[in-house]
Structure 1
Amino acid sequence: MTAAYQWLEAKDCVLVLVDIQGKLAQLMHEKERLFSQLQRMVKGALLFDIPILWMEQLPEKLGPTIPEISELLPDLRPIPKHAFSCYGEPRFVEALQKSGRKRVLLTGIESHVCVYQSAYHLIEAGYDVTLINDAISSRDPANRELGLQRMQALGATPSSVEMVLFELQKEAAGERFRPMAQLFK
């Protein structure tokens, strides 16, 4: 085991949703699986009281976040951005700093553009980035894989929705266990 890896603790984490919007989201490789995994991740984050930062790239042009996700977040509002990297949006940086969390659970589209550039800048700024690989996609599967490889080469830790949520849960006990486990039935 790499000594640098630290076990995930909900109190240290923030979930970042990158640009899961409109027609672009409908073009993603294996979109049904992607949407299902994103829903599980959002529901899991809500169970563990993990703050969620929800980003939209040029919403006036690309449209709003897909209803499968936005309907799970009635009390939140997305942060619009123009830069490909979330870190290029001052409101995102401010919200991230205000959260006090240093572990970013990263999801969204597209792997090789906005997600990759966000991971790069987050790591550069000293954040620990966990890639939720099954909740990240691109239109082209080759670009999805390239983006994931490049982010991992930067130091991001690969994971999955199920792996992250069970790591956060730690044991088959407690008030969150049953609702969390139900996400995977």
Structure 2
Amino acid sequence: MALRLQHLNPKRTLFLLCDIQEKFRPGMPLFDNMVKNANKLTRAGKELEVPLIVTEHYPEKLGKIVPELDVSHAKAVVGKTLFSMMVPEVKNTMKQLFGEKPEYAVLYGLESHICIEQTAIDLLQQNINVYIVADCCSSRLTQDRDLALDRLRQAGCVVTTSESVIFNLIRDKNNPKFDVVRKLVAQPSVDMQLGRFSGSAKL
């Protein structure tokens, strides 16, 4: 299912932050880099008033979202055991926010080939335009992440980066939030070594 690349509308866009939890840090390559990029994206989303939903996978054992990420503005922080984020509480929050569903979902977090991929499948089945933020995604094996990004692109997701999403939402230097967000993007995003494996996603 190929989808056209479109401009993101903050009023019709949902940010979905998936399972960036402290217990995953030791076993995840480039974890700290991913968190820095995710922090930039999440802060920009807050400034641009894009609703955020956060999940934590089995938080009783795997802990909370990492402290570097301020998710206090999230519309819901939901514990789950399902790999997909599309659990009843998330679906209900989406319906409350958008009447039924968002037009665009910006998805990022862990792990690319499991929770991100399965969430994207569920979103695509609802005919939601899915933007996967590649520099804010990780897996225990980088090849798993890269191959998942390749599959997701082929499935109809837009595979993009945090700065691309941010500027797509702003659209215009005269946007009243431009000066605030400009400070967030003053430093380039941190390298996530995307597409370094043969046969993997090329961004």
Pair in the same fold by TM > 0.5: yes
TM-score category by the smaller chain?
over 0.9
Q: Name the residue aligned to 1:25.
A: 25
Query: Deviation at 1:168?
Result: 1.1
Letter in 2 for 1:83: L
Verify the 8 A CA contact 2:52 2:73 in the aligned structure 1.
Answer: no
Secondary structure, counterpart of 2:134 in structure 1: strand
Question: Once the two structures are superposed, what CA deviation does each residue of 1:46-86 show, in whole Å capped at 9, x if it has no partner?
Answer: 011000000011000111111011xx223445101110011
Secondary structure, counterpart of 1:80 in structure 2: strand
Q: Name the residue aligned to 2:95.
A: 97
Letter in 2 for 1:160: T
Verify the 8 A CA contact 1:21 1:64 in the aligned structure 2.
Answer: yes
1:103 and 1:63 map into 2 onto residues whose CA distance is 29
Query: Deviation at 1:12?
Result: 1.1
Is residue 38 of structure 1 aligned with residue 77 of structure 2?
no
Q: Name the residue aligned to 1:176.
A: 177
- Of 94-103 and 121-130, more deviation after overlay is shown by 94-103
Query: Deviation at 1:3?
Result: 7.7
Secondary structure, counterpart of 2:167 in structure 1: helix
Q: Name the residue aligned to 2:154.
A: 153
1:102 and 1:59 map into 2 onto residues whose CA distance is 29
Question: Once the two structures are superposed, what CA deviation does each residue of 1:85-116 show, in whole Å capped at 9, x if it has no partner?
Answer: 111x1101111222212210000000000000
User: Which TM-score applies when normalising by structure 1?
Assistant: 0.92
Q: Which runs of 5+ in 2 are unaligned?
A: 187-203
Letter in 2 for 1:65: I
Secondary structure, counterpart of 2:54 in structure 1: strand
Q: Name the residue aligned to 1:16.
A: 16
Is residue 132 of structure 1 aligned with residue 130 of structure 2?
no
Query: Deviation at 1:11?
Result: 1.0
Verify the 8 A CA contact 2:46 2:73 in the aligned structure 1.
Answer: no
Q: For residues 3 and 130 of structure 1, do their structure 2 counterparts lie closer, same or farther at Cα, with a shift above 3 Å needed?
A: closer
Secondary structure, counterpart of 2:68 in structure 1: helix
Query: Deviation at 1:9?
Result: 1.1
Letter in 1 for 2:10: A
Question: Once the two structures are superposed, what CA deviation does each residue of 1:162-183 show, in whole Å capped at 9, x if it has no partner?
Answer: 0111111112223211111111
Q: Name the residue aligned to 1:82.
A: 81
CA RMSD of aligned residues (A): 1.5
% identical equivalent positions = 26
Verify the 8 A CA contact 1:25 1:109 in the aligned structure 2.
Answer: no
Secondary structure, counterpart of 1:86 in structure 2: coil
Q: Name the residue aligned to 1:109.
A: 110
- Of 131-140 and 171-180, more deviation after overlay is shown by 171-180
